[in-house]
C-alpha cells in the first residue's frame, strides 16, 4: 500500500461493513496505520482471516434497528463513522422483495447508523463518510435497487451535511467505480464485462480496495475541513470518459 501521510492518532473510527477483506477492510487498515483506534462490523460471524484479532469486531445486521441502537449505546466515543455495508445481486433486483431488501440494507442501513451515532459525532465534532457508487449517477439495468439506493445515499449525504453542519459534523461520500472485491466477483466472471470496463476506464484497469482508502482518509482529515456534502468519484476516470 502507498504510504499516506495522515495522522489519526487518538481518533476512534468505526467502519461498518468491513468483514470481507473488501473496501471497508482496506479503509479500516488505512485508518489503523494512520494511528486511529478502529472497530469494524460485518454481517459475517467473523471478519476475514487476515483481519481477525486486528480490529474490535461486532457482527451487525444494519437492517436490525435494535441491534444498531444497542451498538451505539455500547460505544463511548466516536470521531469517524464510515458506512460501507451494502449488497447487490446482478440480475436479481427486479424481484420486488429483493429490491426492498437491497434498499433496506444500503440506504436505510446507512441512515440507521448515521442517526444512531449522531450524538457521538456531535459530541466530538466528528465526520461521517458514506460509500456511494458510480451507479448513483448511471442507470443500472441489472442492479436497479443498488443504483437507486446509492443515488439516495448521495442525496442523504447532502441532506445530513446541511442538517448537521451546525453540530460541527462534516458529512461526505465517495463514489467508487469498478473495484475488485467479493461484491464484484459475480460480475467479474463475465470476461466481456471485465474487458469492457478496462477499455472504457481512462486509467485502463479496475480499482483495488486500497484505491478507495486514501480519498476516505483525506475526507476525514482536517485537510478537508471545509468540505461537506460532497461526493468524490474514485473510478480511474470511468465516469468522465
Ligand atoms: N466493489 C465495487 O466494485 C464497488 C463499487 C462501488 C461501490 N462499492 C461499495 O463499497 C462498499 C463496500 O463494498 P465491497 O465491494 O467491499 O463489498 P463486500 O461485499 O466485500 O463488503 C460488503 C460489506 O457489507 C456487509 N454487509 C452486507 N449486508 C449487510 C447487512 N445486512 N448488515 C450489515 N452489514 C452488511 C458485509 O458483511 C461486508 O462486510 C459498499 O457500499 C459497496 O456498495 C463497491
Q: Where are the domains of the chain?
A: 12-235
The candidate with the shortest Cα–Cα distance to 14, out of 91, 70, 71, is 71
**Do residues 79 and 14 touch, judged by C-beta distance below 8 A?**
no
Q: Which residues pair with residue 172 across a beta bridge?
A: 129
Q: For residue 14, what is its C-alpha cell?
A: 468505526
pLDDT tens per residue across all 241 residues of the chain: 556 689 999 999 999 999 999 999 999 999 999 999 999 999 999 999 999 999 999 999 999 999 999 999 999 999 999 999 999 998 999 999 999 999 999 999 999 999 999 999 999 999 999 999 999 999 999 999 999 999 999 999 999 999 999 999 999 999 999 999 998 998 899 999 999 999 999 999 999 999 999 999 999 999 999 999 999 999 999 999 9
**Substitution candidate for ligand 1 out of 51, 86, 88, 116 with most atoms within 8 A of CB:** 86
Whole-angstrom Cα distance, residue 181 to residue 134? Answer: 15
Which residues are catalytically annotated? 146
> Whose CA is closest to atom 4 on ligand 1?
179
115 is written with which cell numbers?
Answer: 442517526
For ligand 1, say whether the CB of 22 is within 6 Å of any of its atoms: yes
Q: Find out whether the beta carbon of 210 lies less than 6 Å from any atom of ligand 1.
A: no
The fold for domain 12-235 equals Rossmann fold (3.40.50)
Atom number of ligand 1 nearest to Cα 84:
41
Instruction: Residue 167: count other Cβ atoms within 10 Å of its Cβ.
Output: 14
Tell me if 86 sits within 8 A of 146, measured CB to CB: yes
Pairing, β 80-83 against β 127-131: parallel
- What per-residue confidence (pLDDT) applies to 5? 86
Q: How far apart are CA 108 and CA 156, in angstroms?
A: 10
C-beta separation of 78 from 124 below 8 A? yes
Residue 175 Cβ inside 6 Å of ligand 1? The answer reads no
Protein residue with least CA distance to atom 30, ligand 1: 61
Ligand 1 neighbourhood includes 148 CB (under 6 angstroms): no
First to last CA, the chain: 27
Q: Report yes or no on whether pTM surpasses 0.95.
A: yes
Listed in sequence order, the residues at least 6 apart from 87 whose beta carbon sits closer than 8 Å to its beta carbon are: 101, 102, 105, 106, 146, 183
Distance from Cα 18 to the centre of ligand 1, integer Å: 8
The three grid cell numbers given for residue 231, joined into one nine-digit string: 461526493
C-alpha cell at 119: 450524538
Q: Ligand 1: distance of its center to the CA of 208 in Å?
A: 14
SS3 category, 54 = coil
Residue partners of 199: CB distance under 8 A and separation at least 6: none
Amino acid at each position: 500500500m502507498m504510504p499516506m501521510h495522515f495522522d489519526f492518532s487518538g481518533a476512534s473510527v468505526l467502519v461498518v461493513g468491513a468483514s470481507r477483506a473488501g473496501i471497508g477492510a482496506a479503509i479500516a487498515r488505512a485508518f489503523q496505520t494512520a494511528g486511529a483506534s478502529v472497530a469494524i462490523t460485518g454481517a459475517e460471524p467473523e471478519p476475514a482471516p487476515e483481519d481477525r484479532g486486528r480490529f474490535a469486531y461486532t457482527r451487525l445486521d444494519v437492517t436490525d434497528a435494535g441491534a444498531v441502537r444497542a451498538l451505539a449505546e455500547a460505544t463511548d466515543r466516536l470521531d469517524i463513522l464510515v458506512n460501507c455495508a451494502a449488497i447487490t445481486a446482478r440480475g436479481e433486483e427486479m424481484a420486488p422483495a429483493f429490491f426492498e431488501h437491497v434498499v433496506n440494507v444500503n440506504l436505510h442501513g446507512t441512515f440507521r447508523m448515521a442517526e444512531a451515532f449522531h450524538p457521538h459525532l456531535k459530541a466530538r465534532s466528528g465526520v461521517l463518510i458514506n460509500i456511494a457508487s458510480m451507479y448513483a449517477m448511471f442507470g443500472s439495468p441489472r442492479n436497479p435497487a443498488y443504483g437507486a439506493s446509492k443515488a439516495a445515499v448521495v442525496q442523504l449525504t447532502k441532506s445530513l451535511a446541511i442538517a448537521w453542519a451546525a453540530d460541527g459534523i462534516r458529512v461526505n461520500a465517495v463514489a467508487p467505480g469498478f473495484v475488485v472485491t467479493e461484491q464484484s466477483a459475480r460480475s467479474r466472471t463475465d470476461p466481456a464485462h471485465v474487458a469492457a470496463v478496462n477499455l472504457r476506464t481512462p486509467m485502463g484497469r479496475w480499482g483495488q480496495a486500497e484505491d478507495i482508502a486514501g480519498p476516505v482518509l483525506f475526507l476525514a482529515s482536517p485537510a478537508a475541513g471545509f468540505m461537506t456534502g460532497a461526493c468524490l468519484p474514485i473510478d480511474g476516470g470511468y465516469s468522465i470518459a
